[in-house]
Amino acid sequence: MLSQIKRLFLIALVCISIHAIPQSSRLDSVVKTLGHLSDSLLVDSIIKSARMHAIKAHGNLAIEEAKWALNKAKEFNNRDLIARAQFYLAAGYDEATLLDSSVLHYHKALEVIQGSSYENWDIHIYLNLGTLLRTQEKFKESIDVQLEGLKIVEENADSFMQARFMTNIGYAYDRLKEFKEAIQWHQKALKIFEGLSDEYQINFVKGRIGIAYDELSEYDSAHYYNKQALEYAIKIGDSIGIGQTASNIGNTYNKQSQWENALYYLELSFQVNDPLRDPMNKSISGINLGRTLMELGQYVSAADKIEYGIQFAMKSESKIYQSEGYLRLHELYLKLNKPDSALILFKKHQEIEEELYNIEKAKQIDELRTLYETEKKEQQIEIQNARIVDKERKIEANRKLIILLVLLIVSITILSFLVYQRFKTKKETELQKKIIEEQEKGLDAVIHAQEEERKRISKELHDGIGQQLSGLKMNFQRLGKQLEDNSGSFKKEVDQLTNIISESADEVRSISHQMMPRALVELGLVEAITDLTKKALISNEILCDFEHYNLKERYNERIEVSVYRIVQELINNIIKHSEATQVNIQLFQNKQKLILIVEDNGKGFNQDNHSDGHGLLNIKSRLNTLKGEVNFEPSPKSGSIATIRIQL
């Protein structure tokens, strides 16, 4: 027991001081500190450290330690340690927002966790995968994953986790705007949580149901569930839940134009929300409360609350609520008949909207200015008409008619111009699209011709010159034996010529292999890349870890050749420039995309080299013909990561 406490104390001490150590030597320092432990205890300690970093959202540190632990656990084939290290490696990629890698490693964790003493962790993997896919807005895939997890917990009769999966499925349907389906799943979860008397989860699920009913405009049901959620939040002392739920109730009353009822709940939300803990909710509640006060005619208080909300929207860097706050102030100043101030506020609103959405900023500002100028002119016309109402009735009527005609002509002119501009833009877009398509066809043809010529030259070198050199070598060897029988004086010269011919044959075979590797043609992409890494990296004393997952037996020849050439180009660049000692290559298929990730631990990422280098241009040219994309970014440790995605 004392040794266990001592080991936990050492881990905690290492994690506290870990950020003071440079990145390059940090892990070595941790291993050295715990070096007195046995292999299994050392790996176990590093995994626990990776877990702590994942919990604290230090994703890069968790990745580094989990990778080290995974490799060590594989060395002595400890399945339990492999399973845990794989799990926290996936969690580290999640915290580092490398979502594709996180999804990949969670799938690997599902494979290795079966048969280990941690196989019950599969439900947590399904929960995490579902959340990741929802974050990537892959809502239907998220639902499928959550359903797989739900099957497992139903077999295990785990009521709590059943409800967790159910409410997560409901949330995914909510994001798909299938609110009735979402409510059905939330109701199933609620029934279980009520049976377990889990007040926190009851509060949470009731709030979600209330929001869904609000989206369906079924306001009575929305109030029923939201008010029950508020009661539970008050009971358990959840101040954040009180603020959010009270705000939801107030907004529903606003939609019903029941301003007095809305005022009560929005004031409660405003009072409860802590500006230090949650400035975002403080901003929302301030703006919503200000709008309600404005509708009740309490303009001074309304302005105060809206400006307060804008202030906290700026602190939380929420452009959306800054924009909404300025819009509400604009409406307030219009009610106060202050068009100049209203115009200024609307311009601020428009500037933020342009930053967020980049749509129709100039048009909306012009519309507001035109509205203001038109109202001003109409006021002047009304004053003038009032002065001459008795003398010039007919002139006044004609003037109004002229104004209407002018406005109609201007409107028609503006509409015609907009239609013309849209037609012109559409034609230009179509022309550019055709030009790009022709360029891509030409580029595809050039690359295809190059590969065909390489294949032809490779075949000629291997089957023609290579075989001729082999035959010539055999004849020289035969001649050498004859000369040796007759006279031994020519043996040295014949051996030298034979060696020259042998070296020439080897060089021809090497050139033939570079032009078109036989492993790629005969065995496929995985074997070809494996052969490439052995010959190119290992010969340069660079360690390589090549992982592949969920691949078909063979892909289209264009795809296999292009991926091989891209890997070849990246490896050449690493050998020449990066000074790396280790390279990690991942190749896997995710749905209808083939994804290649090449990571090195070299001297780092150089944006200028990547922008203008011939290597990157070659890679982009190949990917353009395959509708693919490439992205370079710094590695979590050092060096760089190249990520290539090809649509299948």
**DSSP type of residue 460:** I
Asked if the structure places residue 460 within a domain, the reply is no
Please state the φ and ψ torsions of residue 549, each to the nearest 5 degrees.
-150, 135
pLDDT tens digit sequence for 156-213: 888 999 999 999 999 999 989 999 999 999 999 999 999 999 888 888 899 999 999 9
Asked if the structure places residue 454 within a domain, the reply is no
Neighbours of 68 (CB within 10 A): 20
Neighbours of 212 (CB within 10 A): 26
Q: How far apart are the first and last CA of the chain?
A: 56
Overall average pLDDT of the 425-438 stretch: 73
What pLDDT is recorded for position 218? 94
Asked if the structure places residue 123 within a domain, the reply is no
Instruction: Return the CATH number at 542.
Output: 3.30.565.10
DSSP H or E segment with residue 643? strand 640-647
> What is the distance between the alpha carbons of residues 32 and 28, in angstroms, rounded to a whole number?
6
Overall average pLDDT of the 516-543 stretch: 80
CB-neighbour burial class of residue 197 (10 A; exposed 0-12, middle 13-18, buried 19+): exposed
pLDDT tens digit sequence for 211-256: 999 999 999 999 999 999 999 888 888 888 888 888 899 889 988 9
Q: Of the candidates 246, 250, 243, which has an alpha carbon nearest to the alpha carbon of residue 272?
A: 243
pLDDT tens digit sequence for 333-390: 888 888 888 888 888 888 888 887 664 444 444 545 544 554 565 566 566 666 666 6
User: What pTM was estimated for this model as a whole?
Assistant: 0.49
Number of domains in the chain: 1
- Its domain, for residue 546, covers 523-647
Which range (92-101, 309-318, 360-369, 564-573) has the least confidence?
A: 360-369
- DSSP for 332-389 reads HHHHTT-HHHHHHHHHHHHHHHHHHH--SHHHHHHHHHHHHHHHHHHHHHHHHHHHTT
Please state the φ and ψ torsions of residue 542, each to the nearest 5 degrees.
-115, 125
Can you tell me whether residue 589 is helix, strand or coil? strand
Contact 577, 639 (CB under 8 A): no
For the chain, the average pLDDT equals 79
Q: Which residue has the higher pLDDT, 638 or 329?
A: 329
> What is the distance between the alpha carbons of residues 269 and 286, in angstroms, rounded to a whole number?
9
Asked if the structure places residue 591 within a domain, the reply is yes
Q: Give the angle subtended at the CA of 507 by the CAs of 504 and 513, to the nearest 5°.
A: 145
What pLDDT is recorded for position 37? 76
Contact 400, 418 (CB under 8 A): no
Can you tell me whether residue 587 is helix, strand or coil? strand
> Is the pLDDT reported for residue 434 higher than 90?
no
Asked if the structure places residue 1 within a domain, the reply is no
Can you tell me whether residue 489 is helix, strand or coil? helix
Contact 646, 594 (CB under 8 A): yes
Compute CA distances 114 → 103, 148, 179, 233, whole Å: 18, 15, 36, 39
SS3 content of the chain, % helix, strand, coil (to 5): 80, 5, 15
CB-neighbour burial class of residue 422 (10 A; exposed 0-12, middle 13-18, buried 19+): exposed
> What is the distance between the alpha carbons of residues 507 and 461, in angstroms, rounded to a whole number?
10
Please state the φ and ψ torsions of residue 65, each to the nearest 5 degrees.
-70, -40
Asked if the structure places residue 643 within a domain, the reply is yes
Asked if the structure places residue 232 within a domain, the reply is no
Please state the φ and ψ torsions of residue 390, each to the nearest 5 degrees.
-80, -25
CB-neighbour burial class of residue 231 (10 A; exposed 0-12, middle 13-18, buried 19+): middle
Asked if the structure places residue 613 within a domain, the reply is yes
> Is the pLDDT reported for residue 20 higher than 50?
no
List the beta strands (DSSP E) in 489-639.
543-549, 582-590, 593-600, 628-634
